[in-house]
Amino acid sequence: MAPSAISPTTQDYKLSIEDLKSVDHSLGATLNNGPGLSISKQLIAQALKTRVDSIDPDTCDLGDDDAFFVADLGEVYRQHMRWKKNLARVKPHYAVKCNPDPRVIHLMKQLGMGFDCASMNEIETVLGMGVDPSRIIYAQPVKTKAYMRYAARSGVKQMTFDNLDELYKVKQLTPDAELYLRILTDDSASLCQLSNKFGASTNDTGDLLELARKLDLNVVGVAFHVGSGASDPQAFLKAVQDARFVFDQAEALGFTMHTLDVGGGFTGDASFEAMAAVLSDALDAYFPPHVRIIGEPGRYYVATAFTIACSVIGRRTVNDATLGTTSYMLYMNDGVYGNFSCIPFDHQKPTPRVLKCAADPINFLYDTHTSGYDTPSMTEYSIWGPTCDGIDKIPDTHCFAQVMNIGDWLYFEDMGAYTKCSATPFNGFPSAHDTIYVCSEPGAASLLEL
């Protein structure tokens, strides 16, 4: 996973369900979606349209035509309700690294969630938003000494470890810590593997617990992570069984074990319910109700909440004399060194869609669906980022019914996880982009006092 940073640039755009009164209701019809366009999509469409319509690339100020996000905080709220329905026993501690967006964190604070922080910066951000230190777990098994001193000063006590050397650091710097022993998992079916770097094998947990006992440290729980973007529910079952084994080992040594941390790995797609069912059953089978269960979901909460819009800054025509075809290379103002860092770091394949095409009679094309390669008049594109590097490319080729040109706009959905947090300023392109917030859920809007 890439490092996280707080984007300083946000735009307050208080568009909520109430504002639907003023939303252009012809948008749905214009987009051939009829009444089917959800409230969330209507709000996102309105925000995208308002912004891109206000930009003239020939006259706008520097930065006005930069890529920008639209975030539907209502989607974060819906994911929380879905979590509570399916994983009632597991108190979510949002993995801040995934997307440290201040509005998202604020909503989660209001929802009563806890937070998983991996660095001083993340702890500082969450504490700075008024979250009590007891709601934070410093879930980084190998910690920087100065950050540990900061955690101790700030009252953050919960932290993970998975090796002997870390225990000596804990003894020296945070002797009052409430420690979670992070164990190894089988993360082979996950998008991003973590067990190559973290987690103690059950062969080693005995030695670790004995040293913790000898150093008079306070081990209170076990933590695991089945890998980010997990796809095999059995990985959760095995991890819960291993955690039970370590709980028993620790209790035999005299530790009072009270919490199991089931980590992250959940995706927001339709597989969540099945994954949650296996995990819930395993928890009930191996951990009695008095054991507190926490989780560290990241991607699950935010992936689908963010849409990004990018403008086309250049175009190269590619004529294939042999085939007699014309395709285009489109260059856009964001790429793999920016918010599309999710391509190299998070193994994502974002899907481009046409947002605005001046040459098309409909012009604003959010959520219009064309039938794909079978449409005879489709034009083929490869899509590139703005830097000088040849790897700066959106994977695969893409076909649109429109002939796109400079100044037109593309958009990509599901861009909330591991995107802006790992954007770099490589080549001098901005790494911070505006976020326009909308809120499609009245419950979230009232928590946020919108």
Of 92 and 407, which CB lies nearer to ligand PLP in the complex structure?
92
Give the CA radius of gyration of the chain. Answer: 24
Of 308 and 417, which CB lies nearer to ligand PLP in the complex structure?
417
| 64 φ, ψ (degrees, to nearest 5) | -65, -30
CB of 305 to ligand PLP, least distance (A): 13
CB of 266 to ligand PLP, least distance (A): 6
Tokens describing residue 75? 């989607």
For position 265 contacting ligand PLP by CB under 6 A, the verdict is yes
Beta-bridged to residue 15, according to DSSP, are 438
Specify whether the CB–CB gap between 257 and 222 falls below 8 A. Answer: yes
For position 161 contacting ligand PLP by CB under 6 A, the verdict is no
Nearest of 339, 267, 259, 342 to residue 297 by alpha carbon: 267
Our answer to whether residue 98 is catalytic in this structure is: no
CA 105 to chain centre: 12
For ligand PLP, what does the binding mask look like between residues 277 and 296, x meaning CB under 6 A?
A: -------------------x
For position 95 contacting ligand PLP by CB under 6 A, the verdict is yes
For position 139 contacting ligand PLP by CB under 6 A, the verdict is yes
For position 403 contacting ligand PLP by CB under 6 A, the verdict is no
Strand 393-400 with 379-384, pairing: antiparallel
Nearest of 325, 449, 441, 446 to residue 78 by alpha carbon: 441
Strand 435-439 with 68-72, pairing: parallel
- Across the chain, which distance is largest between two alpha carbons, in Å? 77
CB of 119 to ligand PLP, least distance (A): 12
For ligand PLP, what does the binding mask look like between residues 193 and 232, x meaning CB under 6 A?
A: -x------------------------------x--xx---
Of 9 and 188, which CB lies nearer to ligand PLP in the complex structure?
188
Interacting residue with ligand PLP among 266, 306, 384, 411 (CB under 6 A): 266
Interacting residue with ligand PLP among 96, 98, 220, 448 (CB under 6 A): 98
CB of 130 to ligand PLP, least distance (A): 22
Specify whether the CB–CB gap between 184 and 228 falls below 8 A. Answer: no
The span from the CA of 414 to the CA of 299, in Å, is 10
For position 16 contacting ligand PLP by CB under 6 A, the verdict is no
Interacting residue with ligand PLP among 114, 263, 338, 416 (CB under 6 A): 263
For position 116 contacting ligand PLP by CB under 6 A, the verdict is yes
CB of 105 to ligand PLP, least distance (A): 15
Of 274 and 318, which CB lies nearer to ligand PLP in the complex structure?
274
The span from the CA of 211 to the CA of 261, in Å, is 21
Of 93 and 157, which CB lies nearer to ligand PLP in the complex structure?
93
Of 235 and 445, which CB lies nearer to ligand PLP in the complex structure?
235
Q: Residue type at 45?
A: A
E strands along 96-141, which residues? Answer: 114-117, 136-138
The span from the CA of 240 to the CA of 236, in Å, is 6
Of 388, 399, 421, 439, catalytic: 388
Nearest of 26, 73, 22, 69 to residue 48 by alpha carbon: 69
Tokens describing residue 260? 């199991």
Of 16 and 422, which CB lies nearer to ligand PLP in the complex structure?
422
Q: Which residues contact 381 (CB under 8 A, 6 or more apart)?
A: 327, 328, 329, 330, 352, 397, 398, 399, 400, 404
Nearest of 220, 302, 229, 226 to residue 263 by alpha carbon: 226
CB of 92 to ligand PLP, least distance (A): 10
Nearest of 271, 87, 264, 278 to residue 182 by alpha carbon: 264
CB of 426 to ligand PLP, least distance (A): 22
Interacting residue with ligand PLP among 92, 199, 268, 298 (CB under 6 A): 298
Q: Which of 202-210, 259-267, 328-336, 368-376 is the region at the interface with ligand PLP (rule: CB under 6 A)?
A: 259-267
Q: How far apart are the first and last CA of the chain?
A: 33
Interacting residue with ligand PLP among 297, 335, 338, 385 (CB under 6 A): 297
Q: Is 338 helix (H, G, I), strand (E, B) or coil?
A: coil
Applying CB under 6 A, the site for ligand PLP has a residue count of 18
Q: Is 415 helix (H, G, I), strand (E, B) or coil?
A: coil
For position 409 contacting ligand PLP by CB under 6 A, the verdict is no
Question: Which residues bind to ligand PLP, rule: CB under 6 A?
Answer: 1, 95, 98, 116, 139, 194, 225, 228-229, 263-266, 296-300
Catalytic residues: 388
